[in-house]
């Protein structure tokens, strides 16, 4: 082979190599061939993953392939009936009251010290002095008349009396069905939720939305706790899981009444069945609280009558909680109580006390942090759980 031929062959080889490599490059730019976006790019689209995302590599300098947004799948909240039954075990600590009473009453021929023990048990469970005295009086009479220590009979008597104390006949339905206003037009049922921060108010609003969705109702939420952006974010997250819209303000400290107004307006325009409005629970002075809640209620009523004002009360706060409850009851007409954190206390007697003092029924009880751990309050099931 001559030198000339050799040079020609080398030049030819270089040209062929260049053409091949160029072709591959072209293919890559058109998005053909091997993917230019590494699979982990899909994960980095999640804002939460930003902190842990790998630094961009040369390959990611090229335009990213569109990753289709995942289709949101809506959760189906748990049916409402039977929830208290499912959560019954969470009342275990409250149940110790019933067990203690049963064991004392079954001793027969009760002495004064036995009755003192009964009184102490009831007071420790936050039943309150008035209802405790009433219950003791009826139990004294009935056990004397019966003259028996038969556990089943004693149990039956105690069940009846506890039930009478809890108030089996109170109307505990949530006003959540659309109403026809003075103008003859249908309006969503509106629920205003009040209470001190930390009591579980925002989670209760979200859980209530799920209760209504489980019953086939359409719901709009109003995040009128404008002092905590986290509260609005929390509602949005929970709402999106069940397809519930949340009306909020992007400005921290915005007028809560304006947000409440917009929420009811949106609910009305969308033909929603219910609108639930969360409020800020700062315990300012009574006058400020009265002004704020009064204004929220007033402006909501311009769109639809406020059918329900629910007070959220933390069952673990005892007498302190009762004082807070009284302040709220003084500034706004409360129509029902949601007793939260009943899973973390032996003071189930607060059901009786709060109903007596505020003259309104406990409508729901919170028995955990799970999305469906809110149950309609059913007196019979509650008392049975105490005695089981």
What secondary structure, in 3-state letters, does 170-226 show?
Answer: CCCCCCCCCEECCCCCEECEEEEEECCCCCCHHHHHHHHHHHHHHCCCCEEEEEECC
Nearer to ligand GDP (CB atom), residue 132 or residue 317? 317
282 assigned binding-site residue: yes
367 assigned binding-site residue: no
202 assigned binding-site residue: yes
279 assigned binding-site residue: yes
CB of 193 to ligand GDP, least distance (A): 9
196 assigned binding-site residue: yes
CB of 248 to ligand GDP, least distance (A): 14
336 assigned binding-site residue: no
195 assigned binding-site residue: yes
Nearest residue relative to ligand GDP (C-beta): 366
CB of 240 to ligand GDP, least distance (A): 17
CB of 261 to ligand GDP, least distance (A): 21
CB of 101 to ligand GDP, least distance (A): 25
Nearer to ligand GDP (CB atom), residue 195 or residue 256? 195
Q: CB burial class (10 A; 0-12, 13-18, 19+) of residue 255?
A: middle
2 assigned binding-site residue: no
Tokens representing 263 are 């929420």
Nearer to ligand GDP (CB atom), residue 65 or residue 237? 237
CB of 63 to ligand GDP, least distance (A): 42
**Contact residues: ligand GDP, CB under 6 A:** 195, 197-203, 231, 281, 340-341, 343-344, 366-369, 373
The DSSP bridge partners found for residue 219 are: 274
Nearer to ligand GDP (CB atom), residue 267 or residue 366? 366
Nearer to ligand GDP (CB atom), residue 94 or residue 202? 202
341 assigned binding-site residue: yes
CB of 373 to ligand GDP, least distance (A): 6
201 assigned binding-site residue: yes
Nearer to ligand GDP (CB atom), residue 104 or residue 371? 371
Nearer to ligand GDP (CB atom), residue 126 or residue 273? 126
CB of 47 to ligand GDP, least distance (A): 22
Nearer to ligand GDP (CB atom), residue 297 or residue 341? 341
Which residues sit in the known binding site? 195-202, 278-282, 340-343
Which residues sit in the known binding site for GTP? 195-202, 278-282, 340-343
């Amino acid at each position: 082979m001559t030198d000339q031929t050799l040079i020609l062959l080398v030049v030819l080889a270089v040209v062929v190599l260049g053409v091949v490599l160029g072709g591959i490059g072209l293919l890559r730019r058109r998005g053909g061939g091997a993917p230019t976006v590494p699979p982990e790019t899909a994960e980095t689209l999640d804002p939460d993953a930003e902190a842990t995302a790998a630094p961009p590599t040369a390959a990611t300098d090229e335009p990213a392939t569109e990753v289709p947004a995942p289709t949101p799948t809506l959760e189906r909240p748990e049916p409402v009936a039977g929830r208290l039954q499912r959560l019954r075990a969470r009342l275990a600590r409250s149940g110790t009251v019933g067990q203690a009473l049963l064991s004392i009453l079954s001793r027969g021929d009760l002495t004064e010290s036995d009755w003192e023990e009964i009184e102490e048990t009831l007071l420790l469970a936050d039943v309150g002095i008035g209802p405790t005295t009433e219950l003791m009086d009826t139990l004294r009479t009935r056990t004397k008349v019966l003259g028996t220590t038969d556990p089943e009979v004693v149990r039956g008597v105690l069940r009846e009396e506890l039930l009478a104390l809890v108030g089996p006949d109170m109307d505990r339905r949530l006003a959540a069905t659309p109403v026809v206003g003075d103008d003859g037009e249908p309006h969503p049922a509106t629920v205003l939720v009040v209470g001190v921060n930390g009591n579980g108010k925002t989670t209760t609003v979200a859980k209530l939305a799920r209760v209504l969705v489980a019953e086939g109702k359409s719901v709009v939420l109003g995040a009128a706790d404008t002092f905590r952006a986290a509260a609005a974010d929390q509602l949005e997250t929970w709402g999106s899981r069940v397809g519930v819209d949340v009306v909020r303000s992007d400005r921290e400290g915005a007028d809560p009444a304006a947000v409440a107004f917009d929420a009811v307006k949106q609910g009305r325009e969308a033909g929603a069945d219910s609108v639930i409005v969360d409020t800020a629970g700062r315990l300012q002075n009574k006058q400020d609280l009265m002004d704020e809640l009064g204004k929220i209620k007033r402006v909501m009523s311009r769109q639809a009558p406020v059918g329900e004002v629910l007070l959220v009360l933390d069952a673990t706060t005892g007498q302190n909680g009762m004082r807070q409850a009284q302040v709220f009851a003084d500034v706004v007409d409360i129509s029902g109580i949601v007793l939260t954190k009943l899973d973390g206390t032996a003071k189930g007697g607060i059901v009786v006390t709060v109903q007596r003092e505020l003259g309104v029924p406990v409508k729901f009880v919170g028995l955990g942090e799970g999305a469906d751990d809110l149950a309609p309050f059913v007196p019979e099931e509650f008392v049975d759980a105490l005695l089981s």
